[in-house]
Structure 1
Amino acid sequence: MENTEKLANSKQVIAYIAERFPNCFTLEGEARPLKIGIFQDLSERLADDPRVSKTQLRAALRQYTSSWRYLYGAKEGAVRVDLDGSDCGALEQEHIEHAQTALAESKARAAERRKEQAAKQGDKKSNARDKTAPKANKSTVNQAKSRPAKAKNTKLTKKPVEPRRELNAEDIVVGKDVNVNMGNGNMPATIVELNKDEVRVRLSNGLTMLVKAEHLSS
């Protein structure tokens, strides 16, 4: 029996229409610009489909066309496609400029959110250290003051750790060589796909993985 359960959210709707119209929508890689009026075409094709409503289709299209990979694909020479993958004319220059502006603004907002999250995490760690730090015993402090200070060993010097440089929004582009911060170490990788909140990278061993942009550095 065919599954007629209604789709729950835009992510499921996008996956569904990508399955129904694979020559138009894609879930991975660079997305092709859509034909102007694609919503009307979708509404007509799926008019009798009980799994999705027009409201859901509109919301899903809005999410799809505002994703980083869709905006990244709206560039010089790109061609719009209809539901069957047929060419519907080259992308207009004003739409290219609009997509570039939207992509830059979205990246800037994501970078600002990462800074705010990092600041909050720093405050939490600082508060946790203050709460767990043991209070000094007065007698111990007095004994420490009465003991002569030991001469510092100036022969041993630690090699300074090279700081990791956080990526700016304009650094997060497909083909960029980066480091993925994994615990106490870094893994070299290359950016292969941009999503709204995550970045897909390919590691040196050929594997790909999705990571948050704040886990990348140069």
Structure 2
Amino acid sequence: MQSQLTNSKEIIVYLAQQFPNCFTLDGEAKPLKIGIFQDILLHLENNDLLSKTKLRVALRAYTISWRYLYSIKEGLYRVDLDGNPTDVITKEQMEHAQQLLKDSKQKAKERFKQREKEKTKNSRSPLKKVKALQLGDFVKVQLGNKLLKVQIINIEKEHIKVKVGSGMELMVKPEHIINR
């Protein structure tokens, strides 16, 4: 007995293998017949690989993908499991798909901006640190997970030479210095 498919991507790959004229993994997606979920259930009646819930989730992921939403154009035919044309896409359906696509792109843009903002916030600006540092200053250096108290003995363009309490000297990058 085969194990049940649980991952949406695995389920879509399986559906593309079972119904190659309907589901595609590459290139332009085909608009699916409304009610295709029921058709799949009927076709795979005695199949233990798919749960209804996982299938529904996978179909949802497939139909809200940008690739799929781009395929929803007024006047094109939706396809059944064999790739045969069924109903025609209406203007309202196309506009709905375009709105979903626009909203999804906006959310992605906002997530990207947020990640960039967090990166900027979390990264220490080495230029500001280097300008504020002076020979003889005591600072902390990030070494792995530890902070080490050191004294600055030389400042170069890309490295700062520091001395540890034991007398050992290290070359460190400015981004590893914590100047508090």
Q: Would you say same fold, with TM above 0.5?
A: yes
Query: Counterpart in 1 of 2:72?
Result: 74
Question: What does residue 36 of structure 1 align with?
Answer: 34
Q: How many angstroms does 1:132 deviate by? A: 6.9
Match of 1:121, SS state, is helix
TM-score, reference length from structure 1: 0.58
Cα offsets for 1:90-147 (capped at 9, x unmatched):
11111111000000000000001110111111112236x38974831269xxxxxxxx
Structure 1 unaligned spans of 5+: 140-218
After superposition, give the CA deviation of every residue in 1:61-82 in whole Å (9 maximum; x if it has no partner).
1000000010000013321000
Residue 23 in 1 paired to residue 36 in 2?
Answer: no
Task: Verify the 8 A CA contact 1:32 1:78 in the aligned structure 2.
Answer: no
> Paired residue for 1:203?
none
State how far apart, in whole Å, the 1-side matches of 2:116 and 2:53 are: 36
Q: TM-score, normalised by structure 2?
A: 0.70
Letter in 2 for 1:40: Q
CA distance in 2 between partners of 1:16 and 1:45 (Å): 13
Q: Which residue of 2 aligns with 1:196?
A: none
Which residue identity lines up with residue 12 of structure 1 in the other structure? Answer: E
1:77 and 1:90 in contact (8 A); partners too: yes
- Counterpart of 2:3 in structure 1 is 5
Percent identity over the alignment? Answer: 48
Structure 2: 5+ residue stretches without partners: 138-180
Q: Select which of 108, 120, 123 maps to 2:121.
A: 123
For the Cα contact (< 8 Å) 1:24–1:32, is it kept in 2? Answer: yes
Structure 2: how far apart are the matches of 1:138 and 1:32? Answer: 68
Q: Distance in 1 between matches of 2:67 and 2:75?
A: 16
CA RMSD of aligned residues (A): 2.1
Counterparts in 2 of 1:92-111, with a 5 A limit? 92-111=90-109
**5 Å matches for 1:1-218?**
4-126=2-124, 129=126, 133=130, 135-137=133-135
C-alpha distance 132-138 of structure 1, shift in aligned 2 (>3 A): closer
Q: Distance in 2 between matches of 1:50 and 1:132?
A: 61
- Structure 2 Cα separation of the partners of residues 12 and 138 of structure 1: 60
CA contact (8 A) 2:75 2:90 kept: no
Q: Secondary structure at the match of 2:123?
A: helix
| Counterpart-to-counterpart distance in 2, 1:39 and 1:6 | 18
**Number of residues of Structure 1 aligned to a counterpart in Structure 2:** 136
